[in-house]
Structures are given as C-alpha cells and as structure tokens.
Amino acid sequence: MQRRSFLKNGLTTSTALAFGSGSTIAKNTLPMSNKHEFKLKYAPHLGMFEKSAGSDPIDQLNFMADNGFEAFEDNGMKGRELSLQEKMAATMASRGIQMGVFVAHEIYWREPNLASGKVDWREEFLNDIKSSVEVAKRVNANWMTVVPGHVDFRQDMGYQTANVVESLKQACGILEPHNLVMVLEPLNFRDHPGLFLTKSAQAYSICKAVNSPACKILFDIYHQQIQEGNLIPNIEKSWNEIAYFQVGDNPGRNEPTSGEINYKNVFKYIHENGFNGVVGMEHGNSKKGKEGEMAVINAYLEVDGF
C-alpha cells in the first residue's frame, strides 16, 4: 500500500464529519475492562478500523483509544479542513492519544526538487514547512514527514547531498523555535524507484551534516527490510538519529505476522533500548472487514508480547 493510498483513504473518511454524523461514541469496541495495554505507542491511521468504528474520524479515534492505542498518525492531516483538525485534536487530547507524523510538504516522486539545488523548489519546500508549523500546533504534533524527492541524474551524488543538506538546514531554522522535528524517511527502490533517499546510513549521514534536533530519521521497517535488511544492526547504528518508526510486514505491506519480519524481536529491541516515541502503523489490513480489523489488533497483541 503506497502513501498516496493512505492519503486518499484518510481524506475520504473526513467527509463524514463534515456532513454531521457527529457521534463521539465508537461502535463495536472491546469492553473497557478488556482494554489492551501495549508496551509501545502503536499509531493506527484513519480507515484501518472503519468497518468496526464507522466512517466518522472521531468515532475511529475513540475506537483506537478504547482498544488501547495511545498514538495516531495521519499522512493527510495537513489537507483536512481546519474544523476537522481541531475536532480531531480535541478528541486526541481528551482520550490520551499522541499525534504522530503528518506529511509536511508536497512530495516530488518524479522530480529532483531538493537534490537539484534549484532556488524555486527550495523556496516552495520551505514555505510548505512554514505552513506545516501551524498544522503541528493545531493538532499537537511533534513530528512531520519529509521525503527529499527524486535523484538528479545530471549531478554527482555529492552535490545532490549538499543541496539536500542546505535545504534541510534552512528548514531547521523554521522548526527549531517551535521545538518541532522533521523526520526524513528513506524509501525502498522497489515501491519508489529513483528517489534520492533510500538507506538508513544515508539518512544518518545527512542528519549528522544538518546537525539539528529538528532533523531526524523516520525509520520505516517495511522499507528498510526491502532496501537493505539487517534491521536491528542498522537500527543500532543509526539509533541516535532515529526519532520515529513506521512498520508494515513484507511482502504485502500489511500488519505484523502477515509476512517475514520478526516484529516481536524488533519491538523488543527498540523497547529495551528506551524508545518511548511513536510506532506508526503505516500498512494495510491483510484481511477484509471487521474480521480483518480484529486481526490487526490481535497481531499487535502478539508482537507486543515480548
């Protein structure tokens, strides 16, 4: 499942609130006495539990909280109506849900916007970061996702890296006064061929060059299993620059236990090393309907049982 599918699904669910479903009581939740207590802050997204909770984003947030999830992420939050952002923020605050990432800027899947060094593209990116600050404040977000775009085949990688670093340094000047963090997400070559940022070591070296608390790594375990494998050693090597994790099993990009990744061991490692941030559930459901949604919850109960 690609990021654009998440954006499309999430934005579709937001229309229900605009037409006044208005309920704040999630349906088909587990009894409160059976509320799960996860060791990590797993963050579902809109649409993941829509069959159980209904199409209203507020009902979905309540369903997540009723079932023990303490975080939420929303790639498409920036594109939602201001009134919906405010209602979602209020619900998260009242239910003890921490806001995870949203996408901070327009991602160029085919153009070398940041790698090129072109002033117009850099200014567009920086303006997107400025507007994302206001969204982050509104929804109480600490992190926002940044993807530097496509490679520039006309320039050596060294020059491209310098161009990206300069853009990120200028973005940090915008984010640092607000204690906000952009997280750089390396993406795999199979799903997103030709992108500039692909590996954890590359993201690590860029963060070291930028040298700011406002620029860290989003380590997406699904992408890095495909791109480089060797998950725990690479997490260990880049640990000091990782601020956020996302997950999805491979193959299929669905919930843990549906593929080959030993998520119980990976989660055990990051938990034992003191990670207390958000683990974004950026994946689909391997099964359809309410049964599939319960399977997602049960999968996280299984891999969280370390």
pLDDT digits (tens, 9 = 90+) for 203-249: 999 999 999 999 999 999 999 999 999 999 999 999 999 999 999 99
Residue 9 has pLDDT above 60, yes or no: no
Cα 28 to Cα 126: distance, rounded to the nearest angstrom: 43
How far apart (Å, rounded) are the C-alpha atoms in residues 10 and 300? Answer: 21
* Confidence (pLDDT) at 152: 98
Percent of the chain at pLDDT > 90 equals 89
**Position 30 pLDDT exceeds 70:** no
What are the residue ranges of helices labelled H in 45-81? 50-53, 57-66
Q: Is the pLDDT of residue 169 over 50?
A: yes
> pLDDT-based confidence at 92, cuts 50/70/90?
very high
Please state the domain count of the chain. 1
Burial 117-135, CB ≥16 within 10 A → b, else e: beeebbebbeebbeebbeb
Cα–chain-centroid distance for residue 110?
21
pLDDT tens, residue by residue, 32-51: 446 899 999 999 999 999 99
CATH number, domain with residue 287? 3.20.20.150
pLDDT band, very low/low/confident/very high, at 14 (cuts 50, 70, 90)? very low
* Model pLDDT, residue 35: 85
In the chain, what percentage of residues exceed pLDDT 70?
Answer: 89
Q: Are 113 and 124 in contact (CB under 8 A)?
A: yes
**Counting beta carbons within 10 angstroms of the beta carbon of residue 176, is it exposed (0 to 12), middle (13 to 18) or buried (19 or more)?**
middle
Q: Which long-range contacts (CB under 8 A, 24 or more apart) does 86-91 make?
A: 86/138, 87/17, 87/57, 87/58, 88/57, 88/58, 88/61, 88/139, 89/138, 89/139, 89/140, 91/24, 91/58, 91/61, 91/62
Is the pLDDT confidence value at 16 over 70? no
Inform me whether the pLDDT recorded for 56 exceeds 80. Answer: yes
Q: Cα(123)–Cα(174) distance, rounded to whole angstroms? A: 12
pLDDT of residue 31: 47
**Residue 67: both structure tokens together:** 């079932």
The whole-number pLDDT of residue 21 equals: 39
- Write out pLDDT tens, residues 245-263: 999 999 999 999 999 999 9
Q: Is the pLDDT of residue 22 over 80?
A: no
165-170: average pLDDT? 98
- Token pair of 240, please? 């000091």
pLDDT tens column, 95-139: 999 999 999 999 999 999 999 999 999 999 999 999 999 999 999
Distance CA 58, CA 297 (A): 19
Query: Is the dihedral angle over the CA atoms 52, 53, 56, 58 positive or is it negative?
Result: negative
Considering the chain, what is the average pLDDT of its residues?
A: 92
Contact 71, 251 (CB under 8 A): no
- Is the pLDDT reported for residue 294 higher than 60? yes
- The pLDDT, as a whole number, for residue 155 is 98
Q: What amino acid is encoded at 262 in this protein? A: N
**Structural domain boundaries, residue 16:** 3-303
